[in-house]
Amino acid sequence: MGSIEYIMAPLAGYTDVPFRRMCWRHGLDRGHTALIDAGALVYGNKENPTILARCPEDRWLAAQLMGSRLDLLEKAAPMLNAMDYDAIDFNMGCPVKKVVQRHAGAALLKMPEHALECVKLLRDLIAKPLTVKLRILDEANPEPTLALCQKLEEVGVEGITIHGRLASRIYSGPVAFLVIRAVREGLRIPVTANGGIVDVATCRALHEGTGCDRLMVARGAIGNPWIFKSLKEGVDYRPSHQELCETLREHLSGMVSEYGEAAGLVNGRKIILAYMGGRGYRRSLKAGVCQISTWSEFLNFMELLEQDQPNLS
């Protein structure tokens, strides 16, 4: 679909090194780490190394920072400056309850002056390109979203990603193409459109509806790294049963290398189910996934999976 750039969204619990490695292989253009909380970064949370890890395949990688406390952002900024990232992206769009309760993510949209203060602080302290990810403020009227984005541009951010749904809608409902288009037409900096891409048709609709040449893929890539191949070639690609099994095995092997056997396989259960989802695999086979906790159990499961013949009718 032309010269469009396809960007992987930051997804907590998903977009780690093994996940991105699969996506790069199939055509990803830009990647993000999962969300890193400013406080967790400053105080040295034990999960930081895996969230912040970068692999050789990461041709372009931004760290996704969230937070709302100026004192913590001030300490986190120089730490990120010292790390190997191509940009820092500040999250003003995550609608998850535990994030919003900390006045971060989408909660900042209800505190625009404080949000701008946070971004100004980061802009002054971060030497790398700084971008912002947010959600729309009104589904019918582009003006509130455009006004906030123009202020962010004035502060000096070098790009904005807009998820075209209200934070209250989480991931449901239509994407407000016209609001994103109005922002794209009203700014000089690049605007990335986000929301609803699960296949070629939904990607084309987002591209044509917003006019954006930067498109962000989120949940549509979970269990489906081939989505980037589909979008690049303009035809929905369906992996063979054998290819799916080989990719899943490699993905889980990467998770075990990254997290260790126990944590890698517990975290990997949702990955296994995502690869199997909507592809005709037996329900009884899926039921056994929640029992996998050792590599040998995973290999036994893979033997059963490889022998299965999915029913796609």
Catalytic amino acids? 94
**Diameter of the chain measured on Cα atoms:** 58
Residues 6+ apart with CB under 8 A from 158: 87, 129, 130, 131, 189, 190
C-alpha–C-alpha distance, residues 6 and 27, integer Å: 8
Q: Number of helices (H) and strands (E), helices first, in the chain?
A: 14, 8
299 alpha-carbon distance from chain centroid: 29
- How many other CB atoms are found less than 10 A from the CB of residue 151? 16
Which residue in this structure is represented by tokens 């006019």? 211
DSSP per-residue string spanning 155-185 = HT-SEEEEESS-GGGTT-S---HHHHHHHHH
Structure tokens at 133: 């990810």
Cβ atoms within 10 Å, residue 313: 4
Element (H, E) at 34: strand 31-37
CA distances from 174 to 143, 180, 192, 195, 306 (A): 19, 13, 17, 9, 38
Closest CA to 183 of 156, 211, 215: 211
Angle at 162 between CA 14 and CA 180, to 5 degrees: 145
Query: How many CB atoms are located within 10 Å of the residue 71 CB?
Result: 12
Helix-helix angle 241-259:17-25, to 10 degrees: 150
